[in-house]
Amino acid sequence: MEFAFRRTYRGTLKAAILDWAGTTIDYGCFAPVAAFMRAFQAQGVPITVEQARAPMGMGKRDHIRAIAAMEPVAAQWQAVHERACQPADIDAMHQLFESILFDAITEHADVIPGTLETTADLRAREMHIGSTTGYTRALMARLVPEAKRRGYAPDWIVCVDEVPAGRPAPWMALQCMMDLGVYPAEAIVKIGDTVPDIQEGLNAGMWTIGVIKTGNEFGLSEKQVAALDAETLNAKREQALARLAQAGAHYVVDSLADCDAIIDDIDARLAHGERP
């Protein structure tokens, strides 16, 4: 009789890799939406808020390409320009997007409630705090000092223009893992508010937690969320939960503030030899 033996990690989580807008800062993920809409409007092809939000979590050039490929947008582009959207058009819109967001990004740098407390708890557990983002390093050079001034400063940041491809590819998460000097992948949890966030973590072999109430899935400010009646709030929560759960998220929570008990649960699962 032949036996196979599998090596298993039974320690605790060593790191959390957090998204930025909608997860740790910018409640509702508003900063990029207006910039996407203005970039398309400048080409004579207005888009809706829903269209602007749909590919959220991807690298911003890929995000623009995904919007342009949407059937209604592609048809409108064809009608306006009498041709399909070209790579040069994507480049032009991305350049405009970056310039618009560069000026506006600091207006959306407020830290989401619970972020500072949760990151303090993670550090008390001796976990590293990494981060990945669909923003370029130039944009983050504007955002990081503002977030730090408000009390939030992760240990490491990997930007989309520093890897071969952005989400859903795992390269940012794996680069962050390498830069932090932390392994194995099952000792890391990826936390974010979009489907590409979850896919990034899963493709990297990490645990994943989806955030819904503060992020792109709700797409509302803190005041707007607070003003929702119970029935509407529950309906939006169920819809958002379903999207991230169907993407494969191991857990889904309202906000980063709700992750403490989940970290305990993952540690317990690791102790029993479970893997993501």
Residue 271: CB partners within 8 Å, gap ≥ 6? 10, 12
Asked if CATH classification 3.90.1530.10 holds for the domain at 32-107, the reply, yes or no, is no
Q: Which CATH architecture has domain 15-30+109-271?
A: 3-Layer(aba) Sandwich (3.40)
pLDDT at 30 over 70: yes
* Domain ranges (residues) in the chain: 15-30+109-271, 32-107
Q: pLDDT band for position 1 (50/70/90)?
A: low
Give the pLDDT score at 103.
84
Classified as helix, coil or strand, 252 is strand
Higher pLDDT, 196 or 6: 196
What does the pLDDT average to over 205-225? 96
Cα dihedral 268, 269, 271, 272 sign: positive
The pLDDT assigned to 7 comes to 87
The candidate with the shortest Cα–Cα distance to 13, out of 251, 254, 247, is 251
CB 64 within 8 A of CB 94: yes
Task: Find out whether the peptide bond into 170 is cis, omega within 30 degrees of 0.
Answer: no
Q: d(Cα 145, Cα 105) in Å, to the nearest integer?
A: 12
| pLDDT tens-place string over residues 238-251 | 999 999 999 999 99
Tokens of 15: 């790191």
Six-digit token string for 26: 């910018």
How far is the first Cα of the chain from the last one, in angstroms, to the nearest whole number? Answer: 30
Indicate which residues carry an active-site annotation. Answer: 19, 60
What was the pLDDT predicted at 6?
A: 83
pLDDT, tens digit, 9 for 90 and up, residues 253-270: 999 999 999 999 999 999
CB atoms within 10 A of CB 33: 18
Helices (H), the chain: 31-41, 49-53, 60-69, 71-81, 87-104, 115-124, 137-149, 171-180, 195-203, 222-226, 230-246, 260-271
